[in-house]
Every structure is written in structure tokens, then in C-alpha cells.
Structure 1
Amino acid sequence: MKPPAQPTAHRETSEDCQSCLECSRDNGCVRCPERLFLFPQRKGMSHHGTCLHSCPNGHFGQRGRDVNRCMKCRSPDCELCFSRDFCTKCKPGFKLHKGKCLIQCPEGTFAHQTDCLEVCPLPPLGEWSEWSEWSVCVRDGATCGFRWGKQTRVRENSQSGKATEKASVCSPQRETQRCRMKKKCPTEKRRNKKAGLGRKRERKRLRLLASVSANATTDIISGGA
């Protein structure tokens, strides 16, 4: 008695098989076009394959001679990985450090956004640029109207010109100092000066009116006499 024939992979016309080179009724895609990746998903007791242009989160694409496959990242905390053991992006709540996803950054590093970066080393004195000029003395965005404010100056190090995330975090170096401000703003002085002149003119006008009124009253009394 002959054993029952095994189902063979063949071309199907269903939607599940449209991107496949070969497809099985039970297992979906079993072979993909050259540039696509075979992604097997468990469905019950079996796997069902689909052909994708890029692998989903938690997987990486591994190219082979016969078929390209989506392989799972080893760490469950890894959202994207370059290889099975090297993560390139972690899930929320974890920080990336040398291909690993950690809850806390190790000693000698600090958390910056989604990564753990090494503590910025201070370069030798010869690698620092000259200090810039002190900035304008300001407080709350204003340059006058207060007694005291703050001003800053900066200097760059040799890492500043390198387009790396670490360089942007580490430099430049800043210094801040307290500075005295002009308590009254120039516009305020001009406004007060104009107001003062206005009050003087008004007093002069009132005195003139009072004088004219007094003279007129004297003439009336004189004429009546």
C-alpha cells in the first residue's frame, strides 16, 4: 500500500499567496521573490508564511542563498535589531547601550533620550578654543528694568566640529556670571521726561489763565467804580 502523498508547494491565487513564488494551502508562502523576506507567523499548531519588503519590529532580515528570512531578535526588550544579539532600538522604558537594552545606564554613562552615552571627557587645555565675549546682560529676556541680570560666554572643544550625537551633548562649555543692569529703560526715561514737560506746560497754562482772569476782574471792578 502506497503512503499518502504529501502536499506540495504550488502557486495559489488567494490573497495570501499573491507575493509568493511558491505557496502552500496550509502554510502560506514557502518561497519569496529575491528581494522579499519570508516571515513565518505561528497560527495554532503550524506556521503561516508571508513575503515582506522589510521585517516587522522585533525581527531582522537575514539573507540566504535560497531564501531571505525574518529572524527574531534575541532580546524581548529590543524593538529593532541589526543581528540576533545586537539591538539598534529599544522598546519604551529601556535605554540602548552597545547593542543591549537596559533599564538603567551603567556606571560611566548617562541617559540621553533613548541611549546611554559615555560621560563627556574634558579635553586637554590646548584643545579648547578661546572664551567668547560675554553676552549682553539680560533677565527674563529684558536688557533693562532690573538691578541684576546674568550673562554667559562659551568656548568650543575639538569634538564640536564632529557631527555626532555625543559631540552635540558634550560641547560647548559655558560660564555664567551675575551682572548689573540699567534699572530704568531708556524708553521709560523718555516717557517720564515727556510726562514731566507736559505737566510743566499745563501748570504754566493754568497760571496764565488765572492771571488773565484776575486782570479781567480788576478791570470790571475799576469800570464799575
Structure 2
Amino acid sequence: MQLQQLISLVLILHWMEDADCQHHASKHRQHKRGSPGCPAGCLTCSVYNGCLTCQPKLFIHLQRDAIRQTGVCLPSCPKGFFGTRSPEKNDCSKCGSECETCFDKNFCTRCKVGSYLHKGKCQASCPDELVPSDAKRECVPRVAACPADCDSCLNSDTCTRCMPGHYLLRGQCYSVCPEEFEPNEQLMECVPSVPCEVGEWSEWGPCLRILKTCLREETRTRKIVQNPSPQGNPCPATSEKRECFTKRKKCGKKDKGSRNRDQKNRNNRKGSAEGSKERKRKREREMGNREEAENRNKTEQRRKRAQSRDPQPV
């Protein structure tokens, strides 16, 4: 009997402890209604899940943070979502994957980049009677034939792509780009030409003699800051020279020692010339003497031959 009473007492105590725990847990999880702790616009909220219901006319939107979702109340749904209203609550639902904004899940109002809106659907290309508008991201009517040399156009005045061999510039196609522009073969567009840019001139350099002349000149330079594009304005000269003068004695003015050396050289050259003339005269005298001696010998020989032919007297 005492054992049964003891068991009953233990069960009663365990039940009371469990009930007390459930009471505290329920109190911790209870929703706050109109409490200052709730985010703005909430009607009811949870510590862990944010807004659970919103005030009238507001939409509840679930924001995802990793695996956790937190409710917020907004006057309109964010981009990529559309709102649905009901007596119970107003929800934000996600648009289709190809829509940037939508009216409902099956009707887009603006497409993502690369798609064009036609009858509520986002398409990669437009029907034959329409042309794509990158600005509107819609298929728009072809008002008239595209301008000449256009492969595709936004309207009758604006090209979006040119025919081969032509380059796009501000909605127009050119076979030769206008002045101050040049063709870009990769983009097939006319892009601005880049002119050459040079820096400031340096200071003039030292006044140097030009080889063995009496002229002197000084030089200054400047660097190229930006190289030009293929058809940009070419670079001007990057070096410049001008004649200069120094405070030294004039070129050609010699000192006394130099003048003496020059005079000695002239005297040597003069003496050498006079000696050459004297040697020439001596050779001429010697040649004259030899000729005279030869003539005397010839005369003597003729006289002797003549004497040998004449008879000798008895």
C-alpha cells in the first residue's frame, strides 16, 4: 500500500514539472500583437520569424537569409515578385524565371536583359513583323524599312547592327567613319580616335661643338605621354635643336704659341720648296754638262776620222 502511494506521488510530481515546462515554452513562443518590439507594419510577429501578419493593405514578404526566412511587411512587392490580395492576408509571390517584373506568374511586364517582351512572354527573338528594342526590352512594330546598310534596327531612324563592311555610330551605319572616329573591327563600330599626347619640353642641354666645325648647338627633348590610335593624330617631334654661343674665345682665334708653330711649319714648307727647286737646277746643270761633253767627244772623233782619210805629205 505504501509502495503504491509512493509511485502515485512520483507520477504527480513528474506531471506537474512537465506542465510547468510547457507553460514557460508557450509563454516564450507566444506572438506579440501591437508590441513595440515588432518591426514596422507588423500586426503579429515572432522573435525568430519576424512578421507573421501585416497591417491592412500591406503585403507580407519572406526574406531569405541562408536557410532562415524572415517576414517583412511592405506597401508593394519588390522587383521579381507580384502581390495577391485575399481577405486573410496579402502575399508577395515570385515571378517567372525570365521576368524582371510581372503582373502575375504567367504575365511578365518587363524582361531580363537578352529577352524581349511580347504578349506577356519573354522571348529571345521577336516575330517577323516586329523588331527588338534593347531600351524597352520589348518587341516593337517595324515602323518602316530599316535605314540603308542596317542589318537590324530599333525603328526607321535607328540601327542596332550594321551590314558587313559598315560600322555603327549613334544609330547610323558608315562605310567610312566620320572625322575624329576610326573603325573598330571587333565591335564593328566607329570609336573616337585617340590623338598623341606629349609632355612638356625639358631644359636646354649643354652648348656643344658640332664635330670639328666652329658651330655649336644645344638640344631639348620631351616624352610621349599617350601613344595615338591607328588613325589618331601622330606624335610631333620629341627633340629640338638650336644654335648657341658660349663665353669662350671665338672659334679660330689662336694664341702666340700656335701662331709660332704655324709660322715654323710654313717656313719648313717654304724651305722644302726652295730646296726642291735648287736640286732641280743642279740636275739641269749636270745634264747640260754631260751633253756638252758628249758633243765635244763627237766633234773630236769626226776631226780624227777626217785626218785619217787625207794623204800624209812626204
Superposition TM-score, scaled by structure 1 size: 0.48
Q: Return the index of the structure with the highest Cα Rg.
A: 2
Superposition TM-score, scaled by structure 2 size: 0.35
Higher relative contact order (CA 8 A, sep 6+): 1
